[in-house]
Amino acid sequence: MITEKHTNKTPLLPVMESFYTLQGEGFHQGKAAYFIRLAGCDVGCVWCDVKESWDKELYPPQSINQIISGALEFPARMAVITGGEPTLYNLTKLTEMLHSKGFSNHIETSGSHPLTGNWDWICLSPKKFKPPLPDILKKADELKIIIFNKSDFAWAEKYSALVSPHCKPYLQPEWSKAATVIPFIIDYIKSHPNWELSLQIHKYINVP
């Protein structure tokens, strides 16, 4: 089994789940997408809603060909690699093969490990538990900050100042506290209109 971060060999990747749905968050919200959720995470957000993805040993590794075959069963050609924390793995071969089949490659990451792969869209969601590496900050196309309490707005501004000018900034309520923090987010965006609101619409419309 090969799951090291940096290897020139074609890796086997621990896929927790893969599914076809609508992108529920951020800039590409509402678009059809094929999600590939890799298992394994060492960030450990206390409010993570996919804690079952943390232990990669629970999920048998899949070959790149297996992963691509699943994606090709559906008509959309937007692939979203998420986790867990996908930067734990070397994703160069996976992204190369997805591109060869006509997919655009999107990643959702905390940026806690070196970025590999060829990406059309990088969504960076930095976490206080294990901050992102500096190298990914200027590469991010989208900055998504999860708002759990009011102190997270200062965290958001810290990283907004570090990403590139083209990066799209979003504030997203932590799901379990959405009713409490959404009014704060609305007021904050009205006072800081460079930010936009991201909601997890997939949870409202009951799709994966």
Domains of the chain (ranges; CATH) run: 13-204 (3.20.20.70)
Question: How remote is the C-alpha of 84 from its chain's centroid?
Answer: 9
Q: Please check the confidence at residue 2 and state whether its pLDDT lies above 60.
A: no
Top pLDDT among 204 and 1 is at: 204
Split at pLDDT 50, 70, 90, the class of 10 is: low
Q: Could you tell me the end-to-end alpha-carbon distance of the chain, in angstroms, rounded to an integer?
A: 29
pTM of the shown model: 0.92
- Cα separation, 196 vs 26, in Å, equals 9
Cα-Cα-Cα-Cα dihedral sign, residues 42, 46, 52, 53: negative
Write the pLDDT tens digit of every residue in 152-188.
Answer: 999 999 999 999 999 999 999 999 999 999 999 999 9
